[in-house]
């Protein structure tokens, strides 16, 4: 699998990051291992989790994804091959929402223990916290970096102006800067004025910001839970409308021409769009994983990209 530079760091990461959100909860241990092995065999090394995954699945409290990953990494002796990302900031049983120093530093310790590692390669602020000073938040990330517990920091679900505020705070106080932003992003777009709170959708403004500030956009929920191809899945209400219909028609035409699936074209479109966009792929079955990984074989020409980009109501 090819790699791209992560933000303005000197680190190269896989062009597809593997989302491990449901590993160890709704995806059982043996299937999770199979999916992880498939990704590793395809040459992938960038894995995404969070302390809260997946606290909303009935019977689970959060931490299950990290715990499963920790065991898998140890059994496969794969630590040195991987670039591991986790997150802090959302509430879970026993943990309040927020980015106060105590929350960040305590949760980091728990994540390290569950993952059975000494250093988290990329640690995200999972959501913004308007009640805690950014300077204090960045100072606690700085302490973790200094202690060797974290290598790089990223943000998720931040509005662009807050991201810029964070950058200025870091510059002014000589603190570490967020090197990437993880936001919801797919080929179809939500209608203007709609919200997916607490999730934040990447828009043109954010993309332009990322390109100009050398930040990577990690695109989560790129396949909208399979809605592009599955009759049992519908697109979220915010996406419905004429713009979506036009984009779906172009997507379908290109998928047919390439002998690919719509899911593959969505992922290929992101990878071809800019080296600053890295989709987070997730799957619950080996055949889904195979299909998604094969998106890297889909070649889109300049003309294909123009048709996909220009499709709008």
Q: Which residues bind ligand NAP (CB under 6 A)?
A: 19-21, 48, 126, 156-157, 182, 199, 220-226, 229-230, 263, 280, 282-284, 288, 291-292
As a whole number of angstroms, the distance between CA 281 and CA 279 comes to: 6
Q: How far is CA 279 from the centre of its chain?
A: 7
* DSSP string for residues in 11-26: -EEESSEEE-TTBTTT
As a whole number of angstroms, the distance between CA 28 and CA 57 comes to: 12
139-172 burial: b if 16+ Cβ within 10 Å, else e: bbbbebbeeebbbbbbbbbbebebbeebbebbee
Q: Is 299 helix (H, G, I), strand (E, B) or coil?
A: coil
Query: Which C-beta is closer to ligand NAP: that of 10 or that of 259?
Result: 259
Query: Which C-beta is closer to ligand NAP: that of 199 or that of 309?
Result: 199
Least Cβ distance, residue 182 to ligand NAP (angstroms): 5
Query: Which C-beta is closer to ligand NAP: that of 96 or that of 135?
Result: 96
Helices and strands in the chain, H and E counts: 10, 10
Question: Under 8 Å CB-to-CB from 219, ≥6 apart: which residues?
Answer: 183, 184, 185, 186, 202, 270, 277, 278, 279, 280
Residue 134 backbone class (left: φ over 0; alpha: ψ -120 to 50; beta: rest): alpha
Query: Which C-beta is closer to ligand NAP: that of 287 or that of 310?
Result: 287
Query: Which C-beta is closer to ligand NAP: that of 157 or that of 216?
Result: 157
Least Cβ distance, residue 155 to ligand NAP (angstroms): 10
Q: State which residue has the least CB distance to ligand NAP.
A: 19
CA distances from 276 to 17, 41, 206 (A): 13, 24, 11
Query: Which C-beta is closer to ligand NAP: that of 75 or that of 197?
Result: 197
Least Cβ distance, residue 302 to ligand NAP (angstroms): 26
């Amino acid at each position: 699998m090819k790699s791209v530079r992560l933000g303005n760091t000197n680190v190269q990461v896989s062009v597809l990051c593997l989302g491990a959100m449901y590993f160890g909860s709704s995806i059982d241990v043996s299937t999770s291992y199979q999916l992880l092995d498939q990704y590793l065999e395809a040459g992938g090394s960038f894995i995404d989790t969070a302390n809260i995954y997946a606290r909303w699945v009935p019977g689970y409290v959060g931490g299950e994804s990290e715990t499963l990953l920790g065991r898998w990494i140890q059994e496969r002796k794969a630590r040195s091959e991987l670039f591991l990302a986790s997150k802090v900031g959302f509430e879970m049983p026993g943990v309040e929402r927020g980015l106060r120093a105590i929350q960040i530093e305590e949760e980091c310790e728990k994540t390290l223990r569950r993952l059975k590692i000494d250093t988290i390669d990329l640690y995200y602020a999972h959501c913004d916290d308007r009640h805690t000073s950014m300077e204090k938040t960045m100072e606690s990330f700085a302490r973790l970096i200094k202690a060797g517990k974290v290598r790089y920091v990223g943000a998720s679900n931040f509005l662009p102006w807050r991201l810029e505020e964070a950058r200025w705070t870091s510059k002014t106080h000589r603190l570490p800067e967020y090197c990437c932003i993880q936001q919801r992003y797919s080929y179809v777009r939500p209608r203007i004025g709609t919200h997916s709170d607490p999730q934040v959708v990447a828009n043109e403004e954010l993309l332009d910001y990322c390109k100009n500030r050398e930040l990577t956009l990690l695109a989560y929920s790129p396949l909208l839970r399979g809605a592009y191809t599955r009759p049992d899945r519908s697109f979220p209400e915010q996406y419905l409308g004429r713009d979506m219909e036009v984009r779906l028609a172009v997507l379908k035409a290109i998928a047919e021409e390439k002998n690919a699936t719509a899911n593959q074209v969505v992922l290929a479109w992101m990878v071809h769009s800019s080296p600053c966009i890295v989709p987070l792929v997730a799957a619950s079955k080996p055949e889904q994983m195979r299909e998604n990984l094969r998106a890297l074989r889909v070649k889109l020409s300049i003309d294909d990209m123009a048709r996909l980009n220009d499709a709008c109501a």
